Amino acid sequence: MMGQAPSADEIERLARSVLARLPNPFAAHLADIVLIVEEFADEETLAELEIDDPFGLTGLYHGQPVGEKSSMQSGALPDRIHLYRRPILDEWCDTGVDLTALITHVVVHEVGHHFGLSDADMHALEQNGEHQA
């Protein structure tokens, strides 16, 4: 694979591995989350987030944070984590960070939004995920 950028399937495999290593209570709440790997965020998403450069967004969580969910809700779309392949690969090349560590960082950050975690909590969770890799 030398010289070839990882495919969307390879990035998804790495991201699913990160999700599988997360401890409870996180893992229990993420069983039904949908993981989507796309080349870039769509124009509507970028405009909504006021991001001009499509390389500026590596991941995005869509859904309702765990603390805001209600058992009365029905018909809602499942929670989703979008990973954007080209911005991830660009950051990987620019920083030289290990790809697995970078994907761990992006996935944990998006999971953090799902759980309403602080940056410090996300950092601790990311460290935990890296040590189990």
Prior bond of 78 cis (ω within 30°)? no
Q: What is the pTM of this model?
A: 0.83
**Of the candidates 79, 77, 75, 93, the residue with the CA atom closest to the CA atom of residue 19:** 79
Lookup result for tokens 């080349």: 39
- Polymer length of the chain: 133
* pLDDT value, residue 101: 93
pLDDT in tens, 91-118: 999 999 999 999 999 998 888 877 788 7
Average pLDDT taken over every residue of the chain: 85
Tell me the CA end-to-end span of the chain in Å, nearest whole number: 21
Sign of dihedral through CA atoms 45, 48, 52, 53? negative
Q: Is the CB of residue 108 less than 8 Å from the CB of residue 58? A: no
Half-sphere exposure of 120 (CA within 13 A, CB side): 0
Q: Is the CB of residue 60 less than 8 Å from the CB of residue 35? A: no
Q: Helix 119-131 to helix 8-21 angle, to the nearest 10 degrees? A: 100
Which of helix, strand or coil describes residue 114? helix
* pLDDT value, residue 29: 78
